[in-house]
Amino acid sequence: MSNRIAVVPGSFDPPTLGHLDVIRRAASLYDSLHVVVVHNPGKEALLPIAQRLSLLEQSIAETGITGQITIASWSVGLLVDYATDVGAGVLVKGIRSQIDVAYETPMAIVNRHLAGIETVFLLPDPAHTLVSSSLVRQVASLGGDVTPYVPEAVARFLDTGARGI
């Protein structure tokens, strides 16, 4: 395992500017970055995984994030299995609040115990602290303007293809 390879996991349902902020900063810290759409059995997804992958690809390209970035999905087994398979030594998670810290800390400890994978928490740009995918979904479903919260590709998709959220 290498600490020069990192995995940024998330549901990305849909990707937000906060997600891209974490991806951009992680890409500058690690030689290789795997952005992984994970299936969360505790959440009912709005967008199919293939759509989330496409929106991530478009958003990363449009915002000019550079580096060796792989976009993938993972729905079978533990996330640390994916990280181990690709030789990653680090998971990178964005933390917006104490609630996120309380939720992520036990997983970070278990991941380190299971596979020796460390978790690095990145604090968001203050402009993105209160933005979540679920908030974006709610605003979009009520016809509100989500452009301040999501990349252009996501705003276009939500405006043209997903008004029935």
- Return the pLDDT at 162: 52
Residue 148's alpha-carbon distances to 35, 144, 145, 154, 161, in angstroms, are 22, 11, 8, 11, 18
- Amino acid 100 reads D
Structure tokens at 37: 């759409």
- Return the pLDDT at 69: 97
Alpha-carbon distance of 125 to 149, in angstroms, equals 12
Going along the chain from its start, the domains and CATH numbers come out as: 2-160 (3.40.50.620)
Q: Is residue 1 very low, low, confident or very high in pLDDT (cuts 50, 70, 90)?
A: low
Q: What angle do CA 40, 17, 148 make, to 5 degrees?
A: 120
Burial track 51-75 (b if 16+ CB lie within 10 A, e otherwise)? bbbebbebbbeebebeeebebebbe
Task: Inform me whether the pLDDT recorded for 34 exceeds 70.
Answer: yes
Looking at per-residue confidence, does 124 or 164 come out higher? 124
Alpha-carbon distance of 33 to 17, in angstroms, equals 18
Q: Is residue 163 very low, low, confident or very high in pLDDT (cuts 50, 70, 90)?
A: very low
Full-model pTM: 0.92
Sequence-ordered list of residues with C-beta below 8 angstroms from that of 54, at least 6 positions apart, any chain: none
pLDDT digits (tens, 9 = 90+) for 137-156: 999 989 899 999 999 999 99
Q: Which residues are catalytic?
A: 19, 43, 96, 133
pLDDT digits (tens, 9 = 90+) for 83-141: 999 999 999 999 999 999 999 999 999 999 999 999 999 998 999 888 999 999 999 98
Q: What is the mean pLDDT of residues 77-82?
A: 94
Q: What is the mean pLDDT of residues 47-56?
A: 96
